[in-house]
Structure 1
Amino acid sequence: MYPEDLKYTSEHEWVRKPGEADGSVRVGITHFAQEQLGDIVYVQLPAVGDAVTGGKTCGELESTKSVSELFAPMSGRVVARNDELDSAPERINTDPYGAGWMFELVPDDPSVFDGLMSAEDYRAQVEG
């Protein structure tokens, strides 16, 4: 449920290294987060070229239950976004760690990745 090769944030984002773009990391929300939100019907993602700040809002997810903010796991510049989510936001529910990825960013400080939570730490947070 929480892949060991990913890092996690307390705001329920996951981060995979490396991303597709050179020097980037890929970002999405966790299985736990999508389960809490319910059926996701709309996604607002940061645009390519946007600078995002770690821990700050960079997008929004709307579900049949509520609207939730999307947070940047670290500061950096957005280099890719999953535009397929515009027409198929349900991919976040069906495949949060694969086809439901949200965006990629090149971190200002790549070492921040190492300070994010491990799968074990994240599991303890959500199941604790």
Structure 2
Amino acid sequence: FLIIGIFILIWVNDSFAFLVGKNLGKNKLFPSVSPKKTIEGFVGGFVFALIAAFILSRYNNDLSVWQWFILAIVVVITGTVGDLIESKFKRMAGVKDSGAILPGHGGLLDRLDSLVFAAPFAYLTLQIFAYVS
């Protein structure tokens, strides 16, 4: 369930960052790297990821509600950084999309960049929880 929970946190963050940013976004997060990302989108993804963490804590007793919150914070920050790094690599390479497997979605890597970058940090966080608990 923990692995599914991490996927859920990443997907909730990505989805709501997009939705909130698209509908309410006015202030650019890093316009030179990713011109469509907004501060409002980041905050929206963060808030909804925390809500998802709270809901996940009700269905899984392996982690406390605070541990789920910490895991959500780690996933949101590292997932966003991963997305920005992938965007920077694409800009440096002069590429708009990272593939044609998922047309209209920027490529497969655009769908997975948050996950690929956040997963090791989520694992490290879970290891810290196991060590500290």
**TM-score, normalised relative to structure 1:** 0.27
Q: Larger RCO: Structure 1 or Structure 2 (Cα < 8 Å, ≥ 6 residues apart)?
A: 1
Which TM-score applies when normalising by structure 2? 0.27
Query: Counting strand residues as a fraction of each chain, which structure ranks higher?
Result: 1
